[in-house]
Structure 1
Amino acid sequence: MSELMDDLRWRGLVYQETDADGLADIIEKEKISLYCGVDPTADSMHIGHLLPFLTLRRFQNHGHRPIVLVGGATGLIGDPSGKKEERKLQTLEQVEKNVQGLKKQLEQIFDFSGENGALLTNNFEWVGSMDLITFLRDYGKHIGVNYMLAKDIVSSRLESGISFTEFTYTILQAIDFYQLYENWNCKLQIGGSDQWGNITTGLEMIRKIAGEGAKAYGMTIPLVTKADGTKFGKTESGAIWLDPVKTTPYEFYQFWMNTADADVVKYLKLFTFLDRTAIEELEQSVQSEPHLRKAQRTLAEEMTRLIHGEKALQQAIRITEALFSGNIAALNADEIEQGLKDVPTHVHKEGEETGLVEILVKAKISPSKRQAREDIQNGAISINGERITDLHYVLEDKDKLGGKFTVIRRGKKKYHLIQYQ
């Protein structure tokens, strides 16, 4: 077995293969091109999209050439995989906007320079201009209806109903694999476990058009699950996006930091590029000194650096440390906005009362003036990390961090944000 395939299996990244021996042999003997695709159903990917692309990057690290395909055409149709009903069709303008968003994120993951630099493609290049007759005669002719009906992606929808549009999706993806095989000598497609049917249809298309001697392969990656049975990548606030506006780098960092001990070693294997020795050392740390959370910190740092860069990682660490220590004044306005994005916020308008007691009541930090006074006297109120016990304290410009915010904490953990207008 090749070193690469051995590593992929150790990490738990191999779920299904069309020809395990053939694939291991070809990647041992030559440097191949291989691809993975994503449809632009949104203007950002979320962490559920990451694993196939990170696996593609592992191939690149071993000298193979990754082809990253953004489905500008298939995104206009909609993949029926895992869906119980028809997707809402998107406009061409929306798909193009989404394509640009995804390209930016993919460029963060792959190296596009050098001899095996990644190639970014869009299937709209060959599907967008294809006429119906060409689609039916050159491609549709090679894929039987019975063959398609046997696919899980189609059969699972027969009872609830599937349109001809989505029924043909698997043929469109098969065309992608054939086009990349023919024009870029692409020998392998990888994807999530839900893409097995689409991948094997592509291999069927290649076999029918290029002949029985055509050498192409398919591989899927397992669905990521959590030890407690809940869905990976989802939080109370929703999906964890790669777009820093939808999910801030601090929130992204915290997601990985909050990984359970039962899951962290598995995630280090699946998502990071740390070698076996480093991961095994962290595994030992989880067992012998779990309170230090070294594995979680390493996971959070590796993933945030990969997706958002070193500067955003350092900012996320700074926010984390400031919130933990209570040293809020060390943060700038942007960092406060990231770190306290989801805390209760009160908008304070110019000319309104700035006495601390009045603000505590108006911002609903304390339920009454009497309680507000008690909170202040008891030392339960901190402004920008500094405890205030003066009942007559008035908020001034010096209390406005970055000229925009004042952070009030009641007790040990209840943060509130005062935003000035």
Structure 2
Amino acid sequence: MKTLEDRGFIYQSANSEELDEACVSGSICGYVGFDATAQSLHVGNLMVIMIARWMQKFGHKPVLLMGGGTTKIGDPSGKDKERTMLDESQINNNIDNIKKVFAKMMDFEGECSARIVNNADWLDKLLYIPFLRDIGVHFSVNRMLTFDNVRLRLERQQNLSFIEFNYMLLQSYDFLKLNREYGCVLQFGGADQYGNIVCGIDLVRKVLGKTVYGFTCPLLTTSSGTKMGKSEGRPIWLDSDLLSPYEYWQFWRNVSDADVVRFLKIYTFLPIGEIEELEKMVGSSGINEAKVILADEATAILHGKEVLPSIHENAEFAFKGGAAGAASAGGLPFARTSLEQVESGLLVTDALTSLGFAQSKSAARQYVRDRAVSVNDRVVVSELATVSSADFVKETSSEKLCAKISVGKKKHGLIYLDS
């Protein structure tokens, strides 16, 4: 626990002294849950995955609980309104995609191998009346109303459906089930999960007479106040099919100077001593070297060290070269267009939305008004500017025709012209 505290992972904890003793005396099993509400996990989920990795490093066994059952209910924690209901096929597809991220980040072999389980395996089989008699009897509505995830919604007079109100019972039952089946004695999660975790701890104590533990990690924001997980409104996905390793690397490379040391502690496995040496670079020109180390380490954890040489080459070409040079390294975001579209007038603003650099046409137009957009390093000054056929040059490696579209000095993409 001390390592996690020193690196900034701990926000709130229950039975922390007993947990320290349990961790020292032997290997423990702990779990973290992920509802399958999106097609992938994003950087906002990364902190708890790093905790699971640290568990393995210290000889403990993590369980990754997929919320195939609880996703059908919707967790009200941290939400101002009821979640959109997903059907079972959407949930299962999301789970399959999330598992691909776990396969890259977690160790599934050896004595401390991670385990993936799905709470739909038991929640889908529950009978309502027996569940209320066996589990619901241990919950006080008076107390549930005091937890932030319920209280804040009610204070703001925002609707809290009865189905959401049941979520706390189901998550608590997960802890009971995992303790019985796998010996899980620890649950950890985001800051908004503390009420749910405490209820699970109480349920295990009341039903089984056992002491179990829990802690939450802080809700992490950047120094500018932006919630981790998005960059300029775009989710920073952990799935390489949704966000390329190059774009992922760029996210870390471009963090604020004030965030570098904190993120090195949380999102890398570098020893604290090395991080303290890098901290000396803050406020100097060497901060960029520290950012590259952060980007390299974080990217290698998710995508492997083998992607780094091409990313470095890619970044060098993108910053110093034109379209042909940038394309030759590969890995930049790209989109495709046809000669017919170009000849009829392919707006630069449309190219920005195609590349995912702008979430709307109005946002794209604002980039142009700010003089932040360039085509082949030529600044675009008109919102009606187009990408012309003359902007497409041959890529040196494949001789495909492409044009480089940039937003600022750090974001670059390619538009390929289909033959």
Instruction: State TM-score, norm by structure 2.
Output: 0.82
Write the deviation string for residues 179-231 of structure 1: whole angstroms up to 9, x where unpaired.
111111111111111000110010111011002xx120010101112223233
| Matched-pair contact (CA < 8 Å) for 2:64–2:116 | yes
1:272 to 246, 268, 273: 268
Structure 2: runs of 5 or more not aligned: 349-373, 378-388
Does residue 339 in structure 1 map to residue 340 in structure 2? no
Please report how far the alpha carbon of residue 306 of structure 1 lies from its aligned counterpart in structure 2 after TM superposition. Answer: 1.4
The whole-number CA distance in structure 2 between the counterparts of 1:39 and 1:202 is 17
Please report how far the alpha carbon of residue 349 of structure 1 lies from its aligned counterpart in structure 2 after TM superposition. Answer: 4.3
| Matched-pair contact (CA < 8 Å) for 1:68–1:121 | yes
1:238 aligned partner, one-letter code? R
The whole-number CA distance in structure 2 between the counterparts of 1:408 and 1:203 is 55
Please report how far the alpha carbon of residue 401 of structure 1 lies from its aligned counterpart in structure 2 after TM superposition. Answer: 5.6
Q: Which residue of 1 aligns with 2:205?
A: 207
1:255 to 251, 255, 260: 251
2:317 to 309, 312, 322: 322
Q: Which residue of 1 aligns with 2:235?
A: 239
Relative to structure 1, the CA distance from residue 409 to residue 228 in structure 2 (aligned partners, 3 Å threshold; closer, same or farther) is: closer
Does residue 168 in structure 1 map to residue 159 in structure 2? no
| Matched-pair contact (CA < 8 Å) for 2:261–2:275 | yes
Please report how far the alpha carbon of residue 271 of structure 1 lies from its aligned counterpart in structure 2 after TM superposition. Answer: 1.1
Relative to structure 1, the CA distance from residue 407 to residue 395 in structure 2 (aligned partners, 3 Å threshold; closer, same or farther) is: closer
1:168 aligned partner, one-letter code? N
SS at match of 1:161: coil
| Matched-pair contact (CA < 8 Å) for 1:254–1:300 | yes
More displaced stretch, 155-164 vs 100-109: 155-164
| Matched-pair contact (CA < 8 Å) for 1:46–1:241 | yes
Write the deviation string for residues 150-179 of structure 1: whole angstroms up to 9, x where unpaired.
221112222212111100001100011111
Relative to structure 1, the CA distance from residue 334 to residue 79 in structure 2 (aligned partners, 3 Å threshold; closer, same or farther) is: farther
Relative to structure 1, the CA distance from residue 252 to residue 271 in structure 2 (aligned partners, 3 Å threshold; closer, same or farther) is: same
2:236 aligned partner, one-letter code? I
| Matched-pair contact (CA < 8 Å) for 1:190–1:219 | yes
The whole-number CA distance in structure 2 between the counterparts of 1:85 and 1:363 is 39
Does residue 85 in structure 1 map to residue 81 in structure 2? yes
1:252 aligned partner, one-letter code? Y
Please report how far the alpha carbon of residue 382 of structure 1 lies from its aligned counterpart in structure 2 after TM superposition. Answer: 6.4
The whole-number CA distance in structure 2 between the counterparts of 1:302 and 1:398 is 34
| Matched-pair contact (CA < 8 Å) for 2:325–2:395 | no
| Matched-pair contact (CA < 8 Å) for 1:286–1:294 | no
The whole-number CA distance in structure 1 between the counterparts of 2:347 and 2:97 is 39
Does residue 31 in structure 1 map to residue 27 in structure 2? yes
Instruction: State TM-score, norm by structure 1.
Output: 0.82
Does residue 139 in structure 1 map to residue 132 in structure 2? no
Task: Please show how residues 382-401 of structure 1 align to structure 2 within 5 Å.
Answer: none
The whole-number CA distance in structure 1 between the counterparts of 2:74 and 2:281 is 44
Does residue 348 in structure 1 map to residue 339 in structure 2? yes
| Matched-pair contact (CA < 8 Å) for 1:332–1:402 | no
Please report how far the alpha carbon of residue 418 of structure 1 lies from its aligned counterpart in structure 2 after TM superposition. Answer: 5.0
Does residue 312 in structure 1 map to residue 310 in structure 2? no
| Matched-pair contact (CA < 8 Å) for 1:333–1:405 | no
SS at match of 2:290: helix
| Matched-pair contact (CA < 8 Å) for 1:408–1:418 | no
Q: Which residue of 2 aligns with 1:52?
A: 48
In the alignment of these two chains, the number of paired residues is 379
Q: Which residue of 1 aligns with 2:223?
A: 227
Please report how far the alpha carbon of residue 80 of structure 1 lies from its aligned counterpart in structure 2 after TM superposition. Answer: 0.3
Relative to structure 1, the CA distance from residue 322 to residue 182 in structure 2 (aligned partners, 3 Å threshold; closer, same or farther) is: same
Does residue 302 in structure 1 map to residue 304 in structure 2? no
| Matched-pair contact (CA < 8 Å) for 1:72–1:96 | yes
Please report how far the alpha carbon of residue 364 of structure 1 lies from its aligned counterpart in structure 2 after TM superposition. Answer: 6.6
SS at match of 1:17: strand
Rg comparison, structure with higher value: 1
Task: Please show how residues 56-205 of structure 1 align to structure 2 within 5 Å.
Answer: 56-158=52-154, 159-205=157-203
The whole-number CA distance in structure 2 between the counterparts of 1:6 and 1:205 is 27
Relative to structure 1, the CA distance from residue 121 to residue 334 in structure 2 (aligned partners, 3 Å threshold; closer, same or farther) is: farther
The whole-number CA distance in structure 1 between the counterparts of 2:317 and 2:67 is 42
Write the deviation string for residues 319-376 of structure 1: whole angstroms up to 9, x where unpaired.
11111221654565792xx42548xx764249x98xxxxxxx96678xxxxxxxxxxx
Q: Which residue of 2 aligns with 1:375?
A: none
Structure 1: runs of 5 or more not aligned: 354-360, 366-379, 384-392
| Matched-pair contact (CA < 8 Å) for 2:175–2:187 | yes
| Matched-pair contact (CA < 8 Å) for 2:323–2:402 | no
The whole-number CA distance in structure 2 between the counterparts of 1:417 and 1:249 is 18
Please report how far the alpha carbon of residue 403 of structure 1 lies from its aligned counterpart in structure 2 after TM superposition. Answer: 4.6
Relative to structure 1, the CA distance from residue 400 to residue 276 in structure 2 (aligned partners, 3 Å threshold; closer, same or farther) is: closer
| Matched-pair contact (CA < 8 Å) for 1:177–1:202 | yes
2:37 to 21, 34, 41: 41
SS at match of 1:67: strand
2:332 aligned partner, one-letter code? G
| Matched-pair contact (CA < 8 Å) for 1:189–1:218 | yes
Please report how far the alpha carbon of residue 246 of structure 1 lies from its aligned counterpart in structure 2 after TM superposition. Answer: 2.1
Relative to structure 1, the CA distance from residue 308 to residue 362 in structure 2 (aligned partners, 3 Å threshold; closer, same or farther) is: same
Q: Which residue of 1 aligns with 2:363?
A: none
